[in-house]
Amino acid sequence: MSEHVMQLSDSTFDEQIGSASGAVVVDFWAEWCGPCKQIAPILDEIALENPGLTVAKLNIDDNFEVTRRYGVMSIPSLIVFKDGVEVDRIVGAKPKGALVESLSKYL
C-alpha cells in the first residue's frame, strides 16, 4: 500500500470524504480482484503526480455499508467526490492515460 493513497473504512469514510479539500477519488476494490491489482500502481502514480487530488481505497469485502450505499456492483469502481458529493464514476480497469483523461477535470 502506498503512503500517497488514503485507506478508508465504513467508520472513517464520511469524515474523510467530507473533510477533504478538492476532489477525492475512491477506489472500491477487493484483494481477489485481478483488475483492481492492475490499477493500484497506476492510482499510486496519479496520487503522487497530482498532490491536489486525494486518492483513497475502500476494500469492499471489509466495508459493506459504504459499498452498498453507493451501489457498487462491479470492481474496480472509482467514484469521484467533491465536497462530499459523488460527481463522477469510472467502472473497470483502464490504462493510466485513460484514467488521467477521465480525471483531468478534477486535477
Q: What is the pLDDT of residue 93?
A: 96
pLDDT value for 101? 96
What are the structural domain ranges in the chain? 5-106
> What's the pLDDT score for residue 1?
53
pLDDT at residue 78 in the model: 98
The model's pTM is: 0.95
Any idea which residue has 459523488 for its cell? 86
Mean pLDDT, consecutive 10-residue segments, the chain of 107 residues? 86 94 96 97 95 95 98 98 95 96 93
CA–CA distance, 42 with 38 (Å, rounded to integer): 8
Residue whose grid cell is 478534477: 106
Catalytic residues: 33, 36
pLDDT, position 107: 85
Architecture of domain 5-106: 3-Layer(aba) Sandwich (3.40)
What is the secondary structure of 26-91 as a DSSP string?
EEEE-TT-HHHHHHHHHHHHHHHH-TTSEEEEEETTT-HHHHHHTT--SSSEEEEEETTEEEEEEE
Which residues have a Cβ under 8 Å from the Cβ of 102 and sit 6 or more positions away? 88, 90, 94
* CB-CB contact of 29 with 40 (8 Å): yes
